[in-house]
Structure 1
Amino acid sequence: MMPLEILQNILRRIDRLIVFFIIRPFGLLRPKTTSTPTSGTRHNVDLPGPTMRPLHEFQQEVLTLFSAPCNIEKMRYMSQCLKNEYVKKLQSSTACMLPSFCHTLPTGQERGTFIALDVGGSTFRVALVELASRSHNGEEMTIKHMTVNKINEEVRRLPAAEFFAWMAIKIQDMLHQSGDERMAQNETISIGLAWSFPIEQTGYRGGNIQPMGKGFKCHEGVLGQDLGLLIEQACQARGVRVRVKAIINDSSATLLYQAYKDPTTTMSLILGTGTNAAIYLPVKALGADKFGERDPSWFDRAEKVIINTEVSMFGKDILVMTRWDEQLNRAHQLPDFQPLEYMTTGRYLGEIFRLVIAEAVETCQLFGGVMPENILDRYSLDTALLAAIEEDTTMGCISSAERVQKEFGLLNTPSLAEMSFLRTAVESISHRATAYMATAVHALWSLEHNEQDENSKTSVAANGSVVSMYPGFRARCQNYVANIISANQKLSGSTSEHQVIMQPTHEATILGTAVAVAITDE
């Protein structure tokens, strides 16, 4: 008698085959039939199925297509094209290259204890941060106490008054837990806010609320009202006296964090689920219309300004796409909206991998030609799987093969040939992502530097799961930037030495927000 477990596995496989051939999700399989009008009637016309070919042949094609743009000469050209786009958008764009109100970088000598708030899509963090100055190497900034509060669906649905009251309660709780004496003495406490949602910034410490998305309701009824004032009023109602001294986004906070530690910092890069970058540039590099209506005194003080680049939006018709990128783009809610992001970030690397696997199953009999169940759903592959495959150095990728078998629900462990294909696909996808991100970073660097200038060092504050945790990503990105600079120097005959260092950061949003409070001139 057949063991029960084997029988159940066979039945599950039959179920998957039935679902696979009935549903056939968009973008994965070519249709076997189509309807063609002929003489007023419609007939089903059988089309040939996908052409089968050896897996190793497809493996070579994947490697070739993804590695082709990673040639340094092509990267130099793409960097120049991106720089031209940056310059254009610095003059006139309401969507990207947006100047903040932060015109000062920290000296590194700022001291004090500050409250930093970080409101994201799933958590609200409240931290008591102590700044001790740059001279305390390794201990310049310390989180003395922090609470992490989950933002669940119930919190997301809270109307404005209740949501900001909830925030005030969490701020009060953290202050009580930390034993901050300012609470007992009824002092006004300065706080900074990292707000991960749209806002119409009206000053260093103020901004009007915009629709938030992600299921939040707290903007309803208060659109256009000042965010800082709403928080202050909610805290006042709880008997907590606070003053919002800075409102900032995560890319700017990350730049300020690293600039407090290292004075050569003028850029930041966020690369996780999505991507963004900030850069510190002269005010005169931007068109006058970019600044909107600002007090003339701001321009009297500001020589440079931190710019939110929204770099994810660049790259259309510049960055080379494969057919899998085009599939992803066509099926996206916002095609062409964030070209760089669609080919470099944690949200999309797994999806590109999924599309490559799907084609291999269909045309090369990968996994015996049976589509794994979780390949049927878009965005079902996490970038963590790609990282696990890429960092697996065991003979035959035994460790990652077992993970692939488990996650894909395969009856058998993938063969050596199948794991070789998967590893090639993963490395090709991630290495191209590194090259494209390095190209974008070099183009930003070239806005304030030239390979023929005197020796320079630029620290880029790097934050986010992909640039921080994906195996080899940050080091490869830094090397690519160095190689582009070197290639340009050879052409110009320059002998200058330029370093662009990708500095990993820790808790940069919270700590950088505290720095933003410390440098306020209000």
Structure 2
Amino acid sequence: MRPLISAMTSLREVLVAALKSLLRGKSVLQAILAFWVNPSSITAQDAKPKRCTARSLPDFLKEAESLLLGPVDGDGLKEFSAKLKHQFRIGLRSNPACMLPSYNHQLPSGHERGEFLALDVGGSTLRVALVELRGQGAKGQASRIIRLDSFKIDSEVKRLRGTAFFDWMAERILETTSKGGKQGRAPEDPLLMGMAWSFPIDQTSSKGGKLSGMGKGFLAAEGLVGDDLGGIIEEACRRKGLFVELSAIVNDSSATLLSEAYLTRSTRFGLILGTGVNIAAHLPVPTIGQAKYGERPEAWHAKASHVIVNTELGMFGKGVLPLTRWDHLLLESHARPDFQPLEHLVSGYYVGEVCRIALVEAIKSTGVFGGVVPPSLTSTYSLDTETLSLIEAHDDLDAARKIFASRHPSPVEPTSTDIAALRTLSSHIARRSASIVAASIFALWELKMEAEADLLNTLPAESPFIAETQAEINIAQTTVAYNGSVIEHYPGYLAITKKYIDDLVSWSGRNKGESIELIAARESSILGAAVALACLE
């Protein structure tokens, strides 16, 4: 008798909800079907806690842990790293879209000195700085930013077309340099400048490259695609009466590597992990396919035994990444699902979205959060990684609950149990991200060590590169410089990444005493641009 009463009650609830929907303009059949299939589709004023019994919350979280972390437990992470290393090798030899060799073949000695003008051109900010490098033996800091001005690149600036955008840049450069009396130099004595450029470029020299489409809403490349970026900026400055020579262009990951290499001689990798992900790697020149070097002068090859490579890490992983059903749902609505497979599982832009998709499923199937999806979470990318970071940072569940409720209000107030479940889910997703980043770093490190040994074995006895290559092999502690909001600020992320890396190094069976260390590179874009310029000097 009790099941019959329960069924009648449920039917009565469906009919009541259907009647309310009918008054809002739906047909009876539409309203009943909509409510029956998706109870959370009723309006906030009709919402009441609905405890589904399809499955228990502990069962859901247990499955989530298995799906997200099972593939990277134990030997799984070793196997995944080996598959990534195989893809890296293929990319190094033939893929024109990734593993791109820069013109930076010389790492800093740490003794470079001088004042340098540095630019950092990002997606939302232009920064212009005067940087002083004082050398590692100097008293106090080895490097310092004497002056730094930041200029917001808002939507209006992004809409500047072609040369208008670079004229805007030139005005900002003039504004900064004029404060120190640096402007007004003669054409024969230009102001030397280095730049970190966070957009695609087909680099043709240390100081220039062909401008590509910039994306991110920028119209600056209109009419200029294929033109030399260095020349565009120098000409824009000349129109403002400022004579500059843009002598070094680097991307953000290369700048991170160079900035820390100036301070820590064992730095060989630069990791960016925030909204996106990328790694720069210092590798032997023969590791990269010859065609990728383009038409470089023989003088460059005569001096270069190694080169900094922009891996474009996010583009790897297709076919080997441990995808869950939530990842597949993310990709179904993605405009370019195959473009950056690895980035979809690790970067700050996507971690929150994977969590949102899984959380919505949990709400509908377990009754957590009262069985009601907060209205804001019905929109894609509405649960950002910053929110998850703040929730995981609070040991006080009530404080974390208030943060979530303020950002994602719901007709049903979340409980501490609800927030604890969200924290568990987000921690699994963040841990998976850290494991994949660790596997990527280890795969590149192991590839580098193997490539160094191969190079040493093939060099002729009279080669000037023998000592340098042997020194690379003898590095006991390799440093990875890092920068970015996820690895810097997500609670526990750095420590988890380091633990995975240590396990992989230990499992590798390589020489005892070898290690990979992670060091934060502060103001890496600005300092890296200055160091790149100093290396040329």
**TM-score, scaled relative to structure 2:** 0.84
Match of 1:294 in 2: 296
Query: How far apart, in 1, do the equivalents of 2:230 and 2:36 lie?
Result: 53
Paired positions, count = 477
Q: Partners in 2 of 1:461 and 1:346 — Cα distance?
A: 18
**1:474 maps to what in 2?**
494
Match of 1:273 in 2: 275
Map of 1:157-196 to 2, 5 A cutoff?
157-177=159-179, 179-181=180-182, 183=184, 187-196=189-198
Tell me the residue number matched to 1:437: 437
Residue 369 (structure 1) aligns with: 371
1:68 pairs with 2:84: no
Q: CA RMSD in A?
A: 2.6
Query: Which residue number corresponds to residue 508 of structure 1?
Result: 524
Residue 127 of structure 2 aligns to a residue in which SS?
Answer: strand
* SS class of match (2:517): strand
Q: 1:286, 1:30 → 2: CA distance? A: 58
Q: Which amino acid aligns with 2:476?
A: S
CA contact (8 A) 1:175 1:183 kept: no
TM-superposed CA distance for 1:455, in Å, is 6.7
User: Aligned partners of 1:72, 1:292: CA distance in 2, in Å?
Assistant: 42
Match of 2:223 in 1: 221
Give the 3-state SS of the residue equivalent to 2:119 in structure 1. Answer: strand
Alignment of 1:146-157 (within 5 A): 146-157=148-159
**Structure 2 equivalent of residue 233 of structure 1:** 235
- The letter for the 2-side match of 1:473 is Y
For 1:413 and 1:516, locate their aligned partners in 2 and report how far apart those are by CA, in whole Å: 53
TM-score by length of 1: 0.87
CA displacement at 1:136 relative to structure 2:
3.4
* 3-state DSSP of counterpart to 2:449: coil
Give matches, 1:55-94, under 5 Å: 55-94=57-96
Secondary structure of the 2:84 match is helix
| Greater CA drift, 360-369 or 433-442 | 360-369
Does the CA contact (< 8 Å) of 2:370 and 2:412 recur in 1? no
Instruction: Answer yes or no: is the 8 Å Cα contact 2:190–2:245 preserved in 1.
Output: yes
Going from structure 1 to structure 2, the CA distance change for 1:116 and 1:30 (only over 3 Å counts) comes to farther
Aligned partners of 1:323, 1:253: CA distance in 2, in Å? 37
Question: How far did 1:160 drift?
Answer: 2.0
Q: In structure 1, list runs of 5 or more residues that go unmatched.
A: 1-13, 33-49
Contact 2:174 2:183 in 1 (8 A): no
Deviation for aligned residue 1:420: 2.4
CA distance in 2, matches of 1:30, 1:444: 51
Q: Which residue of 2 aligns with 1:398?
A: 398
Q: Distance in 2 between matches of 1:434 and 1:222?
A: 39
The match for 2:468 is none
Whether the 8 Å contact between 1:405 and 1:411 is mirrored in structure 2 is no
In the TM superposition, what is the alpha-carbon distance from 1:236 to its structure 2 partner? Answer: 1.3
How far does the alpha carbon of each residue in 1:183-230 deviate from its partner, in whole angstroms, 9 at most, with x for none?
478841100111111111110001111111222222111221111111
Do 1:455 and 1:496's aligned partners in 2 also have CA atoms closer than 8 Å?
no
Distance 1:495 1:126 in 2: 44
Report the CA distance between 1:495 and its aligned residue. 5.3
Closer/same/farther in 2, CA of residues 343 and 292 from structure 1, 3 Å limit: same
The aligned counterpart of 2:314 is 312
Preserved CA contact (<8 Å) 1:69 1:432: no
Partner of 2:325: 323
Counterparts of 1:133 and 1:348, CA distance in 2: 40
Percent identity of equivalent pairs? 40
| C-alpha displacement of 1:459 | 0.4
Q: How does 1:251-262 map to 2 (within 5 A)?
A: 251-262=253-264
Give 3-state SS (helix, strand or coil) of 1:261's partner. coil
- Segment of structure 1 superposing worse, 398-407 or 448-457: 448-457
Using the alignment, how far apart are the partners of 1:88 and 1:72 within structure 2? 26
Aligned match of 2:446: 446
CA contact (8 A) 2:207 2:248 kept: yes
Instruction: Say which structure is richer in helix.
Output: 2
Which residue number corresponds to residue 463 of structure 1? 483
Structure 1 Cα separation of the partners of residues 441 and 198 of structure 2:
22
Deviations 1:230-260 (A, max 9, x none): 1111111211111000111101111100100
Paired position in structure 2 for 1:418: 418
SS in 1 for 2:394: coil
Q: Aligned pair in 2 of structure 1 residues 181, 211: CA closer, same or farther (>3 Å)?
A: closer
**Residue by residue, what CA displacement relative to the aligned partner does 1:124-156 show, whole Å, maximum 9, x if unpaired?**
111111101122376111111111111112211
After superposition, give the CA deviation of every residue in 1:436-456 in whole Å (9 maximum; x if it has no partner).
Answer: 110111001101226997671
Q: Which runs of 5+ in 2 are unaligned?
A: 1-19, 39-51, 454-472
Q: Secondary structure at the match of 1:278?
A: strand
Cα distance in 1 between the residues matched to 2:105 and 2:248 = 12
Q: CA deviation at 1:31?
A: 6.1
Greater shift, 360-369 or 76-85, is seen at 360-369
Query: Deviation of residue 69 (structure 1)?
Result: 2.1
**Partner deviation per Cα, 1:22-61 (whole Å, 9 max, x = no partner):** 9x9xxxx9967xxxxxxxxxxxxxxxxx972122221211
Q: For residues 420 and 257 of structure 1, do their structure 2 counterparts lie closer, same or farther at Cα, with a shift above 3 Å needed?
A: same
Q: Is the 8 A contact 2:185 2:242 kept in 1?
A: no
Looking at structure 2, the residues matched to 200 and 252 of structure 1 have their Cα atoms a distance apart, in angstroms, of 15
1:452-504 CA-to-partner distances (Å, cap 9, x unmatched) read 97671000010111111111111211111111111122xxxx55111111111
Matched residue, 2:465: none
Deviation at 1:72, TM superposition (A): 3.1
Match of 2:56 among 34, 54, 57: 54
SS in 1 for 2:410: coil
In structure 1, what is the Cα distance between the partners aligned to 2:242 and 2:36? 62
CA distance in 2, matches of 1:116, 1:127: 5
Q: In structure 2, what residue type is equivalent to 1:423?
A: R
Per the TM alignment, residue 297 of structure 1 is displaced from its structure 2 partner at its CA by 1.4
Deviates more, 1:308-317 or 1:160-169: 160-169
1:6 alignment counterpart: none
Say if 1:30 and 1:189 are closer, same or farther in 2 by CA, change over 3 A: farther
Q: CA deviation at 1:166?
A: 1.1
Cα distance change of structure 1 residues 352 and 138 upon mapping to structure 2, 3 Å threshold: farther
Alignment CA distance shift 1:319-1:480 (3 Å):
same
Q: Deviations over 1:54-73 (max 9, x none)?
A: 22221211122112023131
Partners in 2 of 1:378 and 1:137 — Cα distance? 52
SS of 2:336's partner is coil
Contact 2:203 2:209 in 1 (8 A): yes
SS of 1:86's partner is: helix
Alpha-carbon shift at residue 300 of structure 1 (Å): 0.9
SS at match of 1:218: coil
